Structure 1
Amino acid sequence: MKVLIAAEESECSRRAIQAVLERQWPEDSQFRVINVCESFPVLGAKIRPAYVMAESEMLRQKKSQVRMDIVELRKVYPVNLVSGDVLKGDPCACILEEAKDWGADLIILGTHGREGISRAFLGSVAEGVAGSAGCSVEVVKAKRTH
């Protein structure tokens, strides 16, 4: 089974990783962790140095998180193939494309559980992935704080 884990630096993503770690998987399972660095539009012909530095730092942090997730998965599943990457672009599109290209059997990702206005404005990567994926999708919800 090929399990694609879409993660980021949030509590809901940590819960998704934890859900993978707590489960028994078939012996031949493969895990791939991805983190998407969303590209931000830059207005004007020149890219400001501050933007380049900020994007570079964001990529560095995301790569570091993916490496930590891989280490964590390899501790629990030492004989399974575990890989990862940081992708650039629209999160939903990148997750769907990676799942298709890699031949994922299952996508696991967290959701912030936003509702109402904030969900309408911010959208839902989890909803977009679940509605368009060519494989099964497991959405791990964040714990409610109220």
Structure 2
Amino acid sequence: MTRRVLVPMDDSEPARAALEHALSVFPTDEVTVVHVVDDLEAGYGGRPPVTTGGGDDADDPDFFDDVSAIAAERDRTVDTAVIEGTSADAILEYAREEDVDQIVMGSEGRSGVSRMLLGSVAEAVTRQASIPVTIVP
């Protein structure tokens, strides 16, 4: 039975490590990479929303090119999606709506004031998820 694995992604090394982990540990399963556009986080000094690529889908962040390259190195493809909302809530809602079996995510993405004020997305997802969550350092 093919599992559906969700990898929330920003433009950080822990997120890339999570993708590499998911592709290695789930070699025959369906992997979807999502990026959350969270306007609230940007307002609190977090990372600004990623820029969009110039390809056919103007909503695809530039780092989705890196995502495709990482998958191609392992002879894999991944689905991608850009979703909106507060990061943890949007990730969990997507996981429920898309019947995801496993979430694999980096241990951190935010830093500084944004992390102190808003908390850790990985922690919030782990506490609230009804499916297994793997946190990759």
TM-score normalised according to structure 1 size:
0.69
Per the alignment, residue 26 of structure 2 pairs with 25
Identity fraction in percent: 28
> Which amino acid is the alignment partner of residue 52 of structure 2?
R
Greater helix proportion? 1
User: 1:99 is matched with which residue: 95, 98, 102?
Assistant: 95
Number of equivalences: 122
Question: Are residues 1:8 and 2:10 paired?
Answer: yes
Unaligned runs of 5+ in 2: 42-47, 54-59
Contact 1:6 1:33 in 2 (8 A): yes
> Which amino acid is the alignment partner of residue 39 of structure 1?
D
TM-score normalised according to structure 2 size:
0.73
Shift of 1:111: 1.7
Relative distance call for 1:59 and 1:37 in structure 2 (3 A) is farther
Per the alignment, residue 70 of structure 1 pairs with 68
- What does the per-residue CA deviation read over 1:50-98, in whole Å, with 9 as the maximum and x for residues that have no partner? xxxx86xx341662212431342244143xx621111121110110011
Contact 1:34 1:66 in 2 (8 A): no
Contact 2:10 2:109 in 1 (8 A): no
Relative distance call for 1:32 and 1:15 in structure 2 (3 A) is same
Larger C-alpha radius of gyration, 1 or 2?
1
Task: Supply the distance in 2 between the matched residues of 1:3 and 1:133 (Cα, whole angstroms).
Answer: 13
Unaligned runs of 5+ in 1: 42-53, 142-146
Task: Supply the distance in 2 between the matched residues of 1:97 and 1:139 (Cα, whole angstroms).
Answer: 18
Question: Are residues 1:130 and 2:126 paired?
Answer: yes
Question: Are residues 1:86 and 2:88 paired?
Answer: no
RMSD: 2.9
SS of 1:64's partner is: coil
Shift of 1:2: 0.7
Per the alignment, residue 48 of structure 1 pairs with none
